[in-house]
Structure 1
């Protein structure tokens, strides 16, 4: 009998007399014990806030991103142990790839995005500067800083690894400690993953704690700086969301819950087409992967009225060839539900659905009699407009219902009857169909997945939430969002509007703001290494007069003989120009000539420019000069870092003609 422990305040806490048993999904026999009635969950919150939080906040975003990557690597080294244990949940080897490999991959994505999209700093600058005064001496800027609370993660049974890691990665990246509470029926897999991460020595004390079993009075201790991220049933979400502490303290609550997801076969996807075959493949995969125990699984199959029987026949043929059995066998294509109680729930939901839909495929004879195995069930709803249960009852297993639609608007209306879904897929090769459908269906969905013959080889599948994109949905789906790249990190940070002088905003945001003090370095900045450069360090160049010969030579040399540069009368008729003007790219080239130090030095490469704007035309006879200022520095590896330079180009009257950000890689 396996003992599923909790990890609290730096100690593993074994189950006690209050523990209950957890059964193996394959055999139905008792497999583990979980629960400790004396676990001090309020003390865990305090430990996370007072020990874990300060340790994480002492690290900058990049240091935390490196930690997340290293944790993913540690988990990857122990995947086989996680696979072996996960079989007891009823999952097949392919299911492990979704849960375990998918969770590790999610951590890698967040680590990468943290390095590329977050600053090497402790404050995240959100959006552009706001000019609040005429002469730019008083400015506004939004920033995001880590909350001083705890991320409390309540996870579902179906993904004991991915479900934890897709919440944990953005939480740690934000600099917030986490308390993880997995569903008891599969918590033994989560426990092993937590142990691997803790044993790696990568996490600061208090950054990660685990509750195996009941949460006790945890919610009584929640405050205004905490975040609850929940995945599970709508009923449980409502109960937790209604807790007095959450209501009184405005504790952030993110919910991902029941969802009647749909897949729509486009009216252009006729039987025999590549899109039709793709649709059947997607439906079959979503019905049987994880034995249908996926929050993104296809519950409603919507097809043109004329295609209903063809779709039922094609799905049934696939189900006829399905092998159901012990997930440890290589020939098995669908394993068991997670528990006997889950099996009872699914069968009860099937009975409910059958009150208004006809079962068109079911084969109990091929299902093992031990454990929590069930047969897939395919239903057909002939009257989806008047039916209610098919749009409200989620059988969380290998169960799906086919229904016909008259036209695209009818299909979108049927999707909306689910009152909010995590995902709806549309299989079509017609961009006009996709455009019209998205306009109607998007308000009811967190994600719309469109696939066809052109994208199917590289597409990730209807049921695959990706860390780059938001995972959540409106209404019945919970109204929350998870992941979504850096958007997911922001759930654990506070956005604050900062108002003050450019110098104040520079100091707070660790990013030079135009108008702030400029520093004159001891030498040309291109001769100074990355580590020597200071924010605000500025080079002011000499000036260069633009001649008509410069303009004409550049035009003929590049082939850019646009009339504004070559025809005085035509240029004068243009409302933007006083007459012939210098090319914008000529100005950039001359600007580089003014500020570049040509000798070999610490500047290794120019990697691009951002935010280029031309403010005032430059005509022959104007003299331009440049101010080159260190705006932000970001270490990229042990050899070099990225320097972001603010470049302003002015004329002889100190009028701003152009501005942009130059990116260079400089040796450390």
Structure 2
């Protein structure tokens, strides 16, 4: 056994692993860098620890507090990123490759921290409103709520992004209040272990919220229950095996798979070698072949190009790829490193041979491939390899075989319908790119391709400056795809958080729903006092606290003055004849005058705890307001969100959403909306 360290699992609050087992080798020079541990793990203990200690400690915090924790964890990791960069080198990753994994992983924590702060309440229940009337009298209503599932999220990750791949699953499940057990791919588990060790050392993680498995999952999946969740990233073959686990089926355990897929890029027929889009296509394919040495589940495996330009595409790709310097990432000038392991090198070699049965080799190891650096002969390097399909419509080949490395296949098409058909031959992919300069081409291709792709990336000269590229999943957008790609969804902003929550329908009186959701539901019992709600500090405001204003009669002078002030002289407000002939049969007030007049009715003008109005939500104008109509407003505290923020003067504050109903003299609703305000806390008086 070498002197390489033994990796440890983190189970039930302790690190386990003293005796080395399997050796993990550097992808750059083949030297041993770590061992897995030999000690068996008690997976029942791990699950019980998560279900009790982990769940309780997570739910002792609310959405907002967990969002703040994610932000702090991201900062902690970035402050120690160089440790992770030094380890990442052994996986064959260049600095740029590692940046995606390390800083991209931290960036995902920041993204979900921001999503939580903006879109989630202070508690642990998310109301998916508005409530719907279920009867004629308004005393029986229904709505939906989302609550923490109460189980454990088991995340099985791939070898190619051991940090980002872990954190992009951890962030939404942690935010949802679900403890995680993480199982990284063994080949690069030393990076996942180092990251979890840092997260644990930060002191920011609630006890039991994150556990780590080094090595086999043993009987873990056989112990999962219906409230648990299993997620997987890796090969389509492994995803298929996991999907039919008898216990997962029997317990109806939700399973999300994100599998490697045969993603494509389509060069549109109107693009010529003289267009900027042509060069963008060449750069995109070459980049996806060489970033992480092509080891990305989103990499371009099939480049679909017009038949009349395929020779030009092949020539330019050959020229660009021939200039790529491969070798030890620490050597100056190296742009592409090694595959992540020697096993991966053997797998890509085997799959390339299968692809060559249906394809012509345009560029490969025989074209002067010579990795740079000391000891690289023992590394897991692989040459950028470009193929051309002999018959793009034939069974097998690049439509069915994936070499998970720097390998891509060119395919020719005659017209756009054929290009769409070839893209579909991938049988479901994570992403497809369309490089075009014609919006009408995009309008045709995207709807046709969307059913078989999780994400559609449209690239042209306009978006190129800011485009994150074909192969870059973003936290705000769905990551996943149908069919071969696994049929799952990861990321997608708040959607990903909701995957780890349970949705229930709730029925009852408005007052009961208000009590359950912590959010005012129209028709619920109101709290009316002599104190104006705008005079209350955040801490003192109660949900349902309400003010019914005095009345105001709208006059012609109001319309004229508002029109002159705003510059809005729309005919419905000023042309008596045209207005009389309209569906309303009369001149009506500006909708924004109604809003302004309502504000004048309910605003408390004196200095107080309300600092600012920063927006309106759900605005609707229900019925027209005419000259002579009398309006009044009801202002009700609808929702309070404590984001833990300070005002510009370092005073503690919270967010209050107010429900506003504007009615006329017949008690008909004329306008409905929410106002969002910043309100000081009473602690600001200290």
TM-score scaled by structure 1?
A: 0.98
Partner of 2:649: none
Deviates more, 1:369-378 or 1:393-402: 369-378
Deviation at 1:657, TM superposition (A): 1.7
Spell out the pairing of 1:267-666 with structure 2 (5 A cutoff). 267-364=269-366, 365-367=369-371, 368-575=376-583, 577-636=584-643, 637-638=645-646, 639-666=652-679
Preserved CA contact (<8 Å) 2:534 2:610:
yes
Q: CA offset at residue 505 of structure 1?
A: 1.2
Change beyond 3 A, Cα 1:513–1:36: farther
Q: Distance in 2 between matches of 1:137 and 1:183?
A: 55
The answer on 1:206 being equivalent to 2:215 is no
Query: 1, 6, 14: which one pairs with 2:9?
Result: 6
What SS class does the counterpart of residue 451 from structure 2 fall into?
helix
SS in 1 for 2:160: coil
| Distance in 1 separating the partners of 2:431 and 2:155 | 22
3-state SS of 2:378 partner: coil
| TM superposition shift of 1:275 | 0.5
- Between the aligned partners of 1:632 and 1:21, the Cα distance in structure 2 is 55
- Superposed displacement of residue 94, structure 1: 0.9
- Which of 76, 79, 82 matches 1:77? 79
CA separation in 2, counterparts of 1:595 and 1:452? 50
- Say yes or no: does 1:161 pair with 2:174: no
Paired residue secondary structure (2:506): strand
How far apart, CA to CA, are the structure 1 residues paired with 2:216 and 2:482? Answer: 28
Q: Tell me the CA shift for residue 411 of structure 1.
A: 0.7
SS in structure 2 of the partner of residue 588 of structure 1: helix
Runs of 4+ in 1 over 6 A off after TM superposition: none
Instruction: Indicate the residue corresponding to 1:33 in structure 2.
Output: 35
Task: Provide, for residues 253-311 of structure 1, a one-character-per-residue CA deviation record: whole Å limited to 9, x for no partner.
Answer: 00011200001111122103211111111111100111111100110011100111111
Q: Distance in 1 between matches of 2:65 and 2:449?
A: 41
Secondary structure in 2 matching 1:51:
helix
Aligned 1:26-105 pairs, distance under 5 A: 26-105=28-107
Measured after TM superposition, the shift of residue 528 of structure 1 is: 1.8
Between 1:240-249 and 1:620-629, the stretch displaced more is 620-629
The Cα of 1:37 is off from its aligned counterpart by 4.4
Does the aligned pair in 2 maintain the 1:526–1:603 contact within 8 Å?
yes
Q: Measure the CA separation in 1 of the matches of 2:250 and 2:437.
A: 50
Cα distance in 2, alignment partners of residues 509 and 288 from structure 1: 50
On the 8 A contact 1:568/1:579 being kept in 2, the answer is yes
Question: Taking structure 1 as reference, are residues 233 and 644 closer, same or farther at Cα in structure 2, changes over 3 Å only?
Answer: same
In structure 1, distance between residues paired with 2:666 and 2:451: 52
Contact 2:359 2:397 in 1 (8 A): no
Does the 8 Å contact 1:65/1:110 carry over to 2?
yes
Cα separation, 2, equivalents of 1:363 and 1:338: 18
Give the Å deviation of 1:7: 0.4
Give ranges in structure 2 of 5+ residues lacking alignment: 647-651, 682-686
CA distance, structure 1, for counterparts of residue 565 and residue 355 of structure 2: 73
Residues 44-53 or 118-127, more deviating: 118-127
Residue 387 of structure 1 and its aligned partner are, at CA, apart by 4.3
Deviations for 1:504-533, whole angstroms, at most 9, x for unmatched residues? 111111111111111123411222222221
1:15 Cα offset (Å) = 4.7
Q: Do the aligned partners of residues 521 and 490 (structure 1) sit closer, same or farther apart at CA in structure 2, a change above 3 Å counting?
A: same
Distance in 2, Cα, partners of 1:256 & 1:325? 30
Aligned-residue offset at 1:125:
1.3
For the Cα contact (< 8 Å) 2:289–2:300, is it kept in 1? yes
1:16 paired residue number: 19
How far, CA to CA, are the matches of 1:341 and 1:69 in structure 2? Answer: 36
Output one character per residue of 1:520-550: Cα deviation in whole Å (capped at 9) or x when no partner: 2341122222222111111111111122332
- How large is the RMSD of aligned CA atoms in angstroms? 1.3
Asked if the contact 2:17–2:39 (Cα under 8 Å) also holds between the matched residues in 1, the reply is no
- The answer on whether the counterparts of 2:265 and 2:433 sit within 8 Å (CA) in structure 1 is yes
Q: CA–CA distance in 1 between the matches of 2:565 and 2:105? A: 54
Normalising by structure 2, report the TM-score.
0.95
Q: Does the 8 Å CA contact 1:547/1:621 hold for their aligned counterparts?
A: yes
Please report how far the alpha carbon of residue 369 of structure 1 lies from its aligned counterpart in structure 2 after TM superposition: 2.2
Q: Which range is displaced more, 374-383 or 358-367? A: 358-367
Deviation at 1:629, TM superposition (A): 0.6
8 Å Cα contact 2:365-2:382 kept in structure 1 = no
Q: Distance in 2 between matches of 1:289 and 1:562?
A: 56
CA distance in structure 2 between the partners assigned to 1:413 and 1:128 by the alignment: 42
Q: Write the deviation string for residues 583-626 of structure 1: whole angstroms up to 9, x where unpaired.
A: 22221111111111112222211212121222222222222111
- How many angstroms apart in 2 are the aligned matches of 1:96 and 1:38? 31
Q: Could you tell me whether the CA contact under 8 Å between 1:382 and 1:404 is conserved in 2? A: no
Deviation at residue 371 of structure 1 after TM alignment: 1.3
Q: 1:522 to 1:195 in 2, by over 3 A?
A: farther
CA-CA distance at 1:127 after TM superposition = 4.1
Is contact 2:6–2:37 with CA below 8 Å preserved after alignment?
no
State whether residues 636 and 660 of structure 2, in contact with CA within 8 Å, keep that contact through their aligned partners in structure 1.
yes
Deviation larger for 357-366 or 253-262: 357-366
Q: Distance in 2 between matches of 1:538 and 1:587?
A: 20
**Which moves more between the two structures, 552-561 or 377-386?**
552-561
Whole-Å separation in 1 of the counterparts to 2:148 and 2:163: 25
Please, which moves more after superposition, 51-60 or 468-477? 51-60
Distance 2:434 2:624 in 1: 49
Name whichever of 553-562 and 456-465 sits farther off.
553-562
Cα distance in 1, alignment partners of residues 517 and 619 from structure 2: 22
Tell me the equivalent position of 2:684: none
CA-CA distance at 1:567 after TM superposition: 3.3
